[in-house]
Structure 1
């Protein structure tokens, strides 16, 4: 037996509660402190904590020298799930589930030898070299980790990057031959039911063998009906421009994910082509990927058949990582964060920095520059000219997607790529499933809109010129393209002309110059007048939120400035168009001579130029030319100032489609062969089935498709009448935040936790939080808050899901993204009716889509989405409370049939909540 080299440091442990802290001394004594006393002790000693930066913020310490257990976990268990709390760390390591702060402190102390023991068992020369680099960067865990690995510290400053050189140790992908187009064999409804039965049985086996005690899969006849209905989208296309479009509403609990995966996977296997499953958020992508474990229980087979696709900006760029790693030789402190990233990069499944196996809390621990900042967020990829091209995570996922059965993407990627004319490799899928289809309208709105603003123009300048003044590592067009034009004088001159002309775009300090009235060049001068018009006409220009105004009538000089800006952009556009033409000519004339790598680079360069510059400049110039006259039909333009925390961050001119599903239908649906659009909240809730389906067709673009859509609706199997209570509180003034906070407090206490508080404004959320934090803490109820707690929304929801009696406050992202079955979510409190914001864009759409009826539809949708969070499986119970006496009865259709909506006073709502959720308390 190998002798143990575990040398756990003798250090105190610090765990924070809401208003008190527990300090466990190195000798094992426990002290209970207030937060001010904890601040003083943490300043004098280096304690063991979980999530050091969050602890520092809570204690109002600018710098906290601490041993962060999460850093040790990230080093030891890269890519493994862990909640960033003492309880989460204990659960991840199998150390039980702590209740009190004292138990959490002892559990945190116990985690260190467990992690060091795992490190000792992982010992390799490469891991030792990485630990040496990190220790040289003054990593607090360095001595203990080196001891566990049996390695000595470096004798001086690092002289090489052994351990960080991940680019040399990742597997290479290989090019394959062209992919044949898919066949057209249909999926029979009966076959879809059969495949569904296989999936459900696979889920039952998975759940029965899981360690978390999850119940076996429930038999759902509605799910089989749903699978039969959506199989119609996988029939052969009968006529050009007439795809098989199925709109399928599946009530909560039907199990729509497995329901559509059944026919989708069958079609892919029979026809040799991929089905693209698109959902609204990257977290939902991960959930769908988990469901596919039932279809492909063998991880190796699943890796061949299933691919998660995200935009390039979501993946680790190996060239960016290498350039960041080089800084370690001059600044060893950088080795700590980069070392943790290297550990993850060698363990990750696909290299995605958002969702998947990348821990969101790691960004907060090591900073954005050494984590998310290492992605290609500005389109600076040099493709096959990159020395790491054959190991690139992004290129690997693109190639895997060509031959996969199921590609799980998100609406943003699918729609943006469609708006630009194709995917990264210029392919266009023929079969889609759009899950969370009620979000397609807003996703299309984002994808098919245009914005000429200071930030977007400065971003284009950076993409063209790279980092200016010698700062940063951004790669400009010269580095990306100069070897592609070498030897052609005209093309070289065009490249140089682009670099010179880019000076018309806003550079560093543009926002300050606008505020000081000292703009440079035509673009900044135009934006300065935009800013002037917005401030002159906004109702409350001193307010902290975003400001906007119509573009007509324009103030003096704005129309002339727009035309001058257009001419400046024309000077930039012309050489870019010539360069694109030259590169396309090379592909044609040198077809026999170009090797694959150069051809790939030229194709990628053309796509980048068209997407980043040609399309963008054309949209900007169109808006500028139109400014002196009427906005084109079907569009709405406006001017804005964007603010963040009360300070200006952007100024711009915007253009949106009034109905963005029109370009969506043209670019995505019509060219496809089969499309499923599905959601639990696809139709409206007016009570008139025809009107409700018309709303669904308008919001999904079905009205712009030649052939009529197939409609399918499968009701929820849940007994909402007995499983839920729906209460509208009539005696709380929604504009009195003291009353609103008191209502939240009493309702959360009545439920004993498990409450989700939803808000229509961040300011209201923060005000209520301040008022209820202490009384909930006195009752032993932890309060989590979006926009306050220093973790991303996904992690916040994970913590809420794991803590059965915690409460969570949030806004739209929480309302749409929570999937918390069981008692962890048993109460939802909405602060007021979520009417749409009456901005310029909404005003235009309201006129086009039906005035008050349009407002009602959007509001019912938000209420339906919120209520749908409450019951996620058959045994759940929950109470939904709306704190708004002005809730009109015409919105009651937002709630499932059979739910009794009662208008009550707060006292009765509290009593009903306690009685229904905690009958033992009566």
Structure 2
């Protein structure tokens, strides 16, 4: 980020030199942050830089890590942000130790902090490894013992009411025993339900992720509830023992609450506070936040969902109103069977009438349930609560679709989950930046951090998507900017603390410039020949990142007969098991799609070649992405660069980050898409990736791979 020029007449004499920008060296950034941290904070005394460094050193020692200059710079910047109230974007490369860099100043400040992450692995690392060691190491210096807790959405915890009373039946028969009804205890589902009941007597947390081995989603759904289905702690006979309520109580008492992006989105967007009050929010893996918030804010209307609501309401409401809802669902189903997939800028008249009929019928059924209850007809609370939750969700979704807001995107989507020949109607926000701007940054400091926040050399693209407009940037050290920024605009600054890895010496970025540009078909003979030769030169050790599952499958089938060693394919086993097998076999390869671009951590010689089959642009027929691109173009911007290129660059940066995971790792990132070398936007993508040594020489890269393979150290034990 290039800060705005300073006004010498407006600048505070004590302000650091604005030349020490967020892209300066780690030493300069540290100096700026240290001076900012020394300024008086709004609520408490500032934390001296020397004191912060002592605490950081103790924490790093406790977890067996190595202190890095970038880690120190980040810690002091976080401390400065807490004191000044500004928002901070920090790009911290792999190996920086960013978790400790944000946790130490947060604990030292003393106010409650919420840490939101995207992955279960990082949540567990924080709660089970980093925080326990840090608290023990820092307790003597802080003269207190900080408390920490993990908090997730209610459906992640076992519901004791369902464990003991059973789940309400979608067949309208009240409560039932899933182990007996759904295939019997000898079925896989029945066995899972029985295991869950036994586990309920043993677990202290009721957290699904603490159960090993786990159970299917269908089995878990029988033993858990959403927030709308929950009876409430005061009405539920098991409220005093409730796992979800216990987790919330622990969070209220904790200094550090570790949660996930989904719960953060629910807390920010749905108007019903889930997280405890906090003065500092840290969003780790922040590159994922927009996608997670979009997912939470997306709604879907399906015939199956309406039919389930009908069954749940059958014995609770007036028969006439339930029949009307059933009829509306059948009409909607018939129309969706022949509907063409794609974006719907305005609902076709016939579908609009069908959606309105479902909305009105839902409202009548909800009213009827209340009237029947008022007349003294008894019903099981759990059955009634589940029925109302389904009906209210459908009513709100249809109402939103009929409203036709210019801020929403509506589309018809073919979906095999609901059976052949059926489609669903979906609605999502055109952008979540406004939602985030209004709900995320008020009355607290927010630190957003990831290894990939700078795209094309600056933070602007990511900042805009996160609701931080460029007009609200806070140039480093310029206190006057706080007075000049428009009222209500979140003030922010960005900094890149680099990585401890020497990317130009440890890795090569190879672009297969000689290949023809990829078309829509996954079968690319020249690309497959190139891939086979690269794998042979590398001796296996390859992570193949493909833009679609079909492309990954095609490559796996073609290469299993052409290269030595095992080719593992995503979908043929659990992802965790595939990664373990890949890490244990030097000559093995792992092929897969989007979840592998961001979720694989295999340091050492098991992964010395990362291959991307093509630039992962969103599909041209993706309704949401194309709508966002069109909106940018209509406002005078470059929709392709702002949406499609930014989306793809983020994935490529994450994918390239799979290669170098430790200081002694070496290898090649190979992009088998010539456009990265020949298209005008190629430089944007390359500048978004780690600073590897760049080449298009196919012979050179094969020699390098063979040399790396020949000198590869033994595989690391995992």
TM-score bin (small chain): 0.7 to 0.9
Are residues 1:548 and 2:342 paired?
Answer: yes
Cα distance in structure 1, aligned partners of 2:67 and 2:264 = 33
Q: Deviations over 1:677-736 (max 9, x none)?
A: 111111211x4xxxx222122121122952321322211121100000111123445454
Cα distance in structure 2, aligned partners of 1:387 and 1:303 = 35
1:315 Cα deviation (Å)? 2.3
Residue 700 of structure 1 is aligned with which of 435, 450, 466? 466
Cα distance in structure 2, aligned partners of 1:612 and 1:232 = 46
Q: Deviations over 1:807-845 (max 9, x none)?
A: 211111111111222223221011111112222211221
Cα distance in structure 1, aligned partners of 2:491 and 2:655 = 30
Are residues 1:185 and 2:44 paired?
Answer: yes
Are residues 1:292 and 2:131 paired?
Answer: yes
Q: Secondary structure at the match of 2:212?
A: coil
1:461 Cα deviation (Å)? 4.6
TM-score by length of 2: 0.76
1:420 Cα deviation (Å)? 1.9
1:308 Cα deviation (Å)? 1.8
Cα distance in structure 2, aligned partners of 1:189 and 1:576 = 61
Q: Deviations over 1:53-84 (max 9, x none)?
A: xxxxxxxxxxxxxxxxxxxxxxxxxxxxxxxx
Cα distance in structure 2, aligned partners of 1:580 and 1:724 = 68
Q: Secondary structure at the match of 2:420?
A: strand
Cα distance in structure 2, aligned partners of 1:576 and 1:726 = 63
Matches for 1:502-521 after TM superposition, within 5 Å:
504-505=324-325, 520-521=326-327
Q: Which residue of 2 aligns with 1:525?
A: 331
Cα distance in structure 1, aligned partners of 2:430 and 2:461 = 15
Q: Extract unaligned runs of 5+ from structure 1.
A: 1-182, 205-216, 238-243, 469-477, 479-494, 506-519, 535-546, 583-600
Q: Which residue of 1 aligns with 2:544?
A: 757
Q: Secondary structure at the match of 1:313?
A: helix
Q: Answer whether contact 2:652 2:689 (CA < 8 A) is retained.
A: no
Bigger relative contact order, structure 1 or 2, given CA contacts below 8 A and separation 6+? 2
* Structure 1 residues 852 and 758, CA gap change in structure 2 (3 angstroms): same
Q: Deviations over 1:87-135 (max 9, x none)?
A: xxxxxxxxxxxxxxxxxxxxxxxxxxxxxxxxxxxxxxxxxxxxxxxxx
Q: Which residue of 1 aligns with 2:510?
A: 727
Q: Secondary structure at the match of 2:696?
A: strand
Q: Which residue of 2 aligns with 1:653?
A: 425
Which has more radius of gyration?
1
Cα distance in structure 1, aligned partners of 2:386 and 2:100 = 37
1:322 Cα deviation (Å)? 3.9
Q: Which residue of 1 aligns with 2:91?
A: 249
Q: Secondary structure at the match of 2:438?
A: helix
Residue 307 of structure 1 is aligned with which of 149, 154, 158? 149
Matches for 1:404-423 after TM superposition, within 5 Å:
404-423=254-273
Cα distance in structure 1, aligned partners of 2:74 and 2:535 = 37
1:202 Cα deviation (Å)? 0.3
Q: Which residue of 2 aligns with 1:809?
A: 591
1:372 Cα deviation (Å)? 6.2
Residue 712 of structure 1 is aligned with which of 477, 490, 495? 495
Are residues 1:350 and 2:350 paired?
Answer: no
Q: Secondary structure at the match of 1:683?
A: coil
Are residues 1:194 and 2:54 paired?
Answer: yes
Cα distance in structure 1, aligned partners of 2:324 and 2:701 = 61
* Structure 1 residues 449 and 636, CA gap change in structure 2 (3 angstroms): same
Are residues 1:375 and 2:163 paired?
Answer: no
1:346 Cα deviation (Å)? 5.5
Q: Deviations over 1:272-302 (max 9, x none)?
A: x3x111111223322332322321459x999
Q: Which residue of 2 aligns with 1:863?
A: 652
Are residues 1:662 and 2:434 paired?
Answer: yes
* Structure 1 residues 393 and 743, CA gap change in structure 2 (3 angstroms): farther
Are residues 1:679 and 2:450 paired?
Answer: yes
Q: Answer whether contact 1:249 1:714 (CA < 8 A) is retained.
A: yes
TM-score by length of 1: 0.60
Q: Secondary structure at the match of 1:648?
A: coil
Q: Answer whether contact 2:283 2:447 (CA < 8 A) is retained.
A: yes
After alignment, is 371-380 or 615-624 more displaced? 371-380
Q: Secondary structure at the match of 2:415?
A: strand
Matches for 1:881-896 after TM superposition, within 5 Å:
881-887=670-676, 888=679, 889-896=682-689
Q: Answer whether contact 1:448 1:663 (CA < 8 A) is retained.
A: no
Q: Which residue of 1 aligns with 2:408?
A: 635
Q: Which residue of 2 aligns with 1:220?
A: 68
Cα distance in structure 2, aligned partners of 1:428 and 1:454 = 39
1:223 Cα deviation (Å)? 0.2
1:225 Cα deviation (Å)? 0.4
Q: Answer whether contact 1:723 1:876 (CA < 8 A) is retained.
A: yes
1:872 Cα deviation (Å)? 1.6
Q: Answer whether contact 2:303 2:332 (CA < 8 A) is retained.
A: no
1:386 Cα deviation (Å)? 4.2
After alignment, is 698-707 or 673-682 more displaced? 698-707
* Structure 1 residues 570 and 403, CA gap change in structure 2 (3 angstroms): same
Q: Answer whether contact 2:543 2:610 (CA < 8 A) is retained.
A: yes
* Structure 1 residues 226 and 770, CA gap change in structure 2 (3 angstroms): same
Cα distance in structure 1, aligned partners of 2:63 and 2:241 = 34
Q: Deviations over 1:430-471 (max 9, x none)?
A: 431111111111112112233223244345556x53xx7xxx
1:200 Cα deviation (Å)? 0.2
1:377 Cα deviation (Å)? 5.8
Q: Deviations over 1:125-166 (max 9, x none)?
A: xxxxxxxxxxxxxxxxxxxxxxxxxxxxxxxxxxxxxxxxxx
Cα distance in structure 2, aligned partners of 1:341 and 1:419 = 32
1:761 Cα deviation (Å)? 0.7
Q: Answer whether contact 1:732 1:883 (CA < 8 A) is retained.
A: yes
1:245 Cα deviation (Å)? 1.6
Cα distance in structure 2, aligned partners of 1:227 and 1:580 = 57
* Structure 1 residues 395 and 917, CA gap change in structure 2 (3 angstroms): same
Q: Answer whether contact 1:417 1:423 (CA < 8 A) is retained.
A: yes
Cα distance in structure 2, aligned partners of 1:449 and 1:532 = 23
* Structure 1 residues 404 and 579, CA gap change in structure 2 (3 angstroms): farther
1:186 Cα deviation (Å)? 5.8
Residue 555 of structure 2 is aligned with which of 765, 768, 772? 768
Q: Secondary structure at the match of 2:290?
A: helix
* Structure 1 residues 441 and 333, CA gap change in structure 2 (3 angstroms): closer
Cα distance in structure 1, aligned partners of 2:220 and 2:354 = 41
Q: Secondary structure at the match of 2:544?
A: strand
- Give the alignment's Cα RMSD to 1 decimal: 3.9
Q: Answer whether contact 2:544 2:610 (CA < 8 A) is retained.
A: yes
Cα distance in structure 1, aligned partners of 2:222 and 2:384 = 25
* Structure 1 residues 258 and 773, CA gap change in structure 2 (3 angstroms): same
* Structure 1 residues 192 and 446, CA gap change in structure 2 (3 angstroms): farther
Q: Answer whether contact 2:455 2:684 (CA < 8 A) is retained.
A: no
1:388 Cα deviation (Å)? 3.6
Aligned length: 616
Q: Answer whether contact 1:310 1:410 (CA < 8 A) is retained.
A: yes
Q: Extract unaligned runs of 5+ from structure 2.
A: 1-41, 167-175, 473-487, 633-637, 714-718
Q: Answer whether contact 2:528 2:555 (CA < 8 A) is retained.
A: yes
Q: Secondary structure at the match of 1:229?
A: helix
Q: Secondary structure at the match of 1:638?
A: strand
